[in-house]
């Protein structure tokens, strides 16, 4: 059976069943009103009745208190019952009334209480019967057509967003290629290469000097001279920061040095100043190249900003696509469930084609 015909059949049955439920409700509400009025009359009668003669005074007080509470509670509960739905909600409350307030009433007004209880029981039975009949007639509320329409709209939105994402990814790739072309044009990679070489040379010279200084640190420390000697003993970099003071110290302690320490001292006395000069020269060249590189990089900032903006937009769109995909998956599962319910209702396989 085609889906449109199945939906028409479902609607026809549902509308017919709803009319039947309305009739049922009217029929049962007539009975509800009759029994409710009967109970209220019996309450009026119970309220006005005199206690049996010869009843114990203490017991009489308890009976009177029970009667007052019972009548007031039952009247209040019945006042809130106008429909069968109201009755269903109030049944637990009605069931508790006798337990809460009727213990002593049975002693004095057994016939009246049993009469009221019988009517309450009939109401409970009628509600159970009404609920069962309504349950048989009530069809699930299906929205196959609406869900199908929403699925199709979600699919269109998904395709639209995927196309936009693809366009943005293409634009990002073009911008990245443009950036790389500008980097090549400005010679930034060549500058980075030269900077790397200069920094490597600086590290090599610095390590060479520090290595030589490390050979004299222990002997100098043992001499306990204080001042710059203690600083050198803690940090070999002091020789590079204050070469003149270090050389003065080295010449002063030179006669007391031996072996490797003396050889290192010879090398430092001969080469330290030239190595420091070389480091200063390398540092100046590095600063110059870094300034030049930074100036060229600044020219790329607008293009890099465009790329960052595109990357953020793409990330947001990817997240949005995931949300749409999750929604589509949920709608499809819901649609399958409703379609299955529709097939069970019409008793045939339903062909989906709107």
Model pLDDT, residue 101? 61
Residue 271 — pLDDT band, cuts 50, 70, 90? very high
**What span, in angstroms and rounded, lies between the C-alpha atoms of 337 and 351?**
14
- In a domain, residue 351? The reply is no
Phi-psi region of 243 (alpha: psi -120 to 50; beta: other; left: phi over 0): alpha
Model pLDDT, residue 81? 94
CB distance 295 to 191 below 8 Å: no
DSSP code per residue over 45-77? HHHHPPPPTT--HHHHHHHHHHHHHHHHHHHHH
Model pLDDT, residue 79? 93
- Looking at the structure, tell me whether residues 238 and 339 fall in a common domain: yes
- In a domain, residue 58? The reply is yes
- In a domain, residue 291? The reply is yes
DSSP code per residue over 216-230? HHHHHHHHT--THHH
pLDDT top residue among 273 and 340:
273
- Looking at the structure, tell me whether residues 62 and 176 fall in a common domain: no
User: What's the pLDDT tens digit per position in 194-223?
Assistant: 999 999 999 999 999 999 999 999 999 888
Q: Look up the domain containing 224 and give its range.
A: 147-346
- Looking at the structure, tell me whether residues 151 and 28 fall in a common domain: no
- Looking at the structure, tell me whether residues 72 and 189 fall in a common domain: no
Residue 204 CB-density burial (10 A; 0-12 exposed, 13-18 middle, 19+ buried): exposed
Tokens of 321: 């696509």
- Looking at the structure, tell me whether residues 222 and 332 fall in a common domain: yes
- Looking at the structure, tell me whether residues 43 and 188 fall in a common domain: no
- Looking at the structure, tell me whether residues 84 and 154 fall in a common domain: no
- Looking at the structure, tell me whether residues 119 and 178 fall in a common domain: no
Q: Find all residues with CB under 8 Å of 131, minimum gap 6, and list them.
A: 88
State what percent of residues in the chain have pLDDT above 90.
62
**What span, in angstroms and rounded, lies between the C-alpha atoms of 310 and 307?**
5
- In a domain, residue 211? The reply is yes
Reported pTM: 0.56
- In a domain, residue 61? The reply is yes
DSSP code per residue over 91-114? HHHHHHHHHHH-TTHHHHHHHHHH
Tokens of 112: 């009246």
Number of domains in the chain: 2
- Looking at the structure, tell me whether residues 176 and 29 fall in a common domain: no
Model pLDDT, residue 263? 93
**What span, in angstroms and rounded, lies between the C-alpha atoms of 236 and 22?**
99
- Looking at the structure, tell me whether residues 152 and 247 fall in a common domain: yes
State what percent of residues in the chain have pLDDT above 70.
98
Has residue 114 got a pLDDT over 70? yes
Has residue 333 got a pLDDT over 90? yes
Output phi, psi for 34, to 5 deg. -60, -50
Residue 77 CB-density burial (10 A; 0-12 exposed, 13-18 middle, 19+ buried): middle
User: What's the pLDDT tens digit per position in 42-87?
Assistant: 999 999 999 988 888 888 898 888 889 899 999 999 999 999 999 9
Output phi, psi for 26, to 5 deg. -65, -45
- In a domain, residue 352? The reply is no
Model pLDDT, residue 286? 95
Model pLDDT, residue 211? 94
Model pLDDT, residue 315? 97
Has residue 354 got a pLDDT over 60? no
Helix then strand count (H, E) for the chain reads 10, 0
- Looking at the structure, tell me whether residues 281 and 163 fall in a common domain: yes
**Which domain-ending residue is among 121, 139, 157?**
139
- Looking at the structure, tell me whether residues 223 and 121 fall in a common domain: no
Residue 330 — pLDDT band, cuts 50, 70, 90? very high
Model pLDDT, residue 316? 96
Q: Mean pLDDT, to the nearest integer, of 122-140?
A: 91
**Which domain-ending residue is among 81, 104, 139?**
139
Q: Mean pLDDT, to the nearest integer, of 224-230?
A: 89
Has residue 38 got a pLDDT over 70? yes
CA angle 126, 130, 135 (to 5 degrees): 150
**Average per-residue pLDDT for the chain:** 90
Model pLDDT, residue 193? 92
**Which domain-ending residue is among 139, 173, 205?**
139
pLDDT top residue among 156 and 354:
156
Output phi, psi for 275, to 5 deg. -70, -40
- In a domain, residue 221? The reply is yes
- In a domain, residue 354? The reply is no
């Amino acid at each position: 059976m085609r889906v449109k015909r199945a939906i028409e059949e479902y609607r026809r049955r549902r509308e017919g069943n709803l009319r039947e439920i309305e009739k049922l409700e009217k029929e049962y509400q007539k009975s509800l009103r009759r029994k409710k009025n009967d109970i209220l009359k019996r309450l009026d009668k119970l309220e006005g009745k005199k206690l049996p003669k010869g009843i114990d005074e203490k017991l009489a007080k308890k009976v009177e208190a029970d009667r007052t509470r019972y009548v007031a509670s039952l009247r209040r509960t019945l006042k809130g019952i106008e429909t069968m739905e109201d009755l269903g909600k109030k049944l637990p409350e009605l069931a508790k009334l006798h337990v809460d307030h009727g213990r002593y009433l049975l002693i004095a007004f057994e016939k009246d209480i049993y009469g009221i209880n019988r009517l309450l029981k009939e109401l409970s039975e009628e509600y159970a019967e009404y609920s069962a009949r309504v349950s048989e007639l009530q069809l699930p509320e299906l929205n196959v057509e609406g869900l199908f329409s929403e699925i199709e709209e979600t699919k269109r939105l998904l395709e639209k967003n995927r196309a936009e994402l693809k366009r943005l990814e293409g634009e990002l790739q073009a911008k990245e290629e443009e950036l790389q072309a500008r980097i090549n044009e400005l010679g930034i990679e060549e500058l980075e290469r030269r900077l790397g070489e200069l920094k490597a040379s600086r590290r090599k010279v610095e390590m060479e000097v520090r290595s030589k200084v490390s050979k004299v640190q222990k002997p100098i420390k043992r001499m306990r001279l204080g001042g710059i000697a203690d600083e050198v003993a803690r940090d070999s970099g002091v020789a590079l920061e204050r070469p003149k003071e270090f050389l003065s110290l080295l010449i002063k302690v030179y006669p007391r040095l031996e072996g490797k320490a003396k050889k290192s001292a010879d090398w430092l006395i001969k080469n330290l100043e030239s190595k420091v000069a070389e480091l200063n020269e390398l540092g100046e060249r590095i600063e110059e190249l870094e300034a030049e590189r930074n100036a060229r990089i600044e020219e790329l900032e607008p293009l890099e900003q465009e790329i960052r903006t595109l990357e953020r937009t793409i990330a947001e769109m990817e997240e949005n696509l995931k949300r749409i995909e999750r929604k589509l998956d949920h709608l499809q599962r819901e649609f399958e469930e409703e379609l299955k319910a529709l097939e069970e209702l019409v008793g045939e396989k339903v062909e989906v084609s709107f």
